[in-house]
Chains A and B, each alone.
Chain A
Amino acid sequence: GQNIDQPTEMTATEGAIVQINCTYQTSGFNGLFWYQQHAGEAPTFLSYNVLDGLEEKGRFSSFLSRSKGYSYLLLKELQMKDSASYLCAVSDSNYQLIWGAGTKLIIKP
């Protein structure tokens, strides 16, 4: 079956760095997405990886290893507004998104 695993909840301190991991087992692979979702709102796009390596975009970076079925989202210089759920999603062989359950990130002052 298809499966996306990510931690349920993480806590970090304002100004620090946090890494949210995602492992996946899917039928086919056409890229991995990270989305941010604040409570009561729709997800917003953060990053897309289809090749191995690190993609950096400002304070956020995303890494992919296809051979390991593994990705992480790295958030630097954490701000209180980064408190949200972070969803990992994999595009499978049919270009359908398979979603992880999301990681709730709590930022403390």
Chain B
Amino acid sequence: GAVVSQHPSRVICKSGTSVKIECRSLDFQATTMFWYRQFPKKSLMLMATSNEGSKATYEQGVEKDKFLINHASLTLSTLTVTSAHPEDSSFYICSAREGAGDYNEQFFGPGTRLTVL
């Protein structure tokens, strides 16, 4: 099956710093990538949808200046948490989809555990 990687898998940072998380589709071209956030014992919360070469579409309540998303190529999307604070600590998961259609499975990366001190 299709493989999506995420880097780093775990990051601890000080409050006020920025953290960049990379999401790569390793064996397919992802026209669309999704960024999710998940709190403990909660379901996935879609933060934004990004299409290669265009601006990301953010869900209501997600600050686009806080969570910068860049989908520079068909295999790479990055999420930058700017000026991170303890409340940004969470499990961030990306997923990638090859295209829209009848079968539009999303392939998930392994996730990034962010802890802001």
Contact = CB atoms under 8 A, between A and B. Distances in A.
A48 B103 contact: yes
Interface in B94-114: 97, 100, 102-111, 113
A48 to B, nearest CB: 6
Interface size class of B (residues with CB under 8 A): 20 to 34
Given A45-B105, A101-B43, 13 more contacts: A31-B102, A31-B104, A40-B91, A40-B113, A42-B93, A43-B44, A43-B108, A50-B102, A97-B34, A97-B46, A97-B106, A100-B43, A102-B43
A31 B102 CA distance: 8
A41 B42 CA distance: 13
Is chain A's interface secondary structure helix, strand, loop, or mixed overall?
A: loop
A26 interface: no
Interface of A: 30-31, 33, 40-45, 48, 50, 87, 91, 95-97, 99-102, 104
A96 B108 contact: no
B110 A42 contact: yes
B61 to A, nearest CB: 15
Contact of B46 (A30, A48, A96): A96
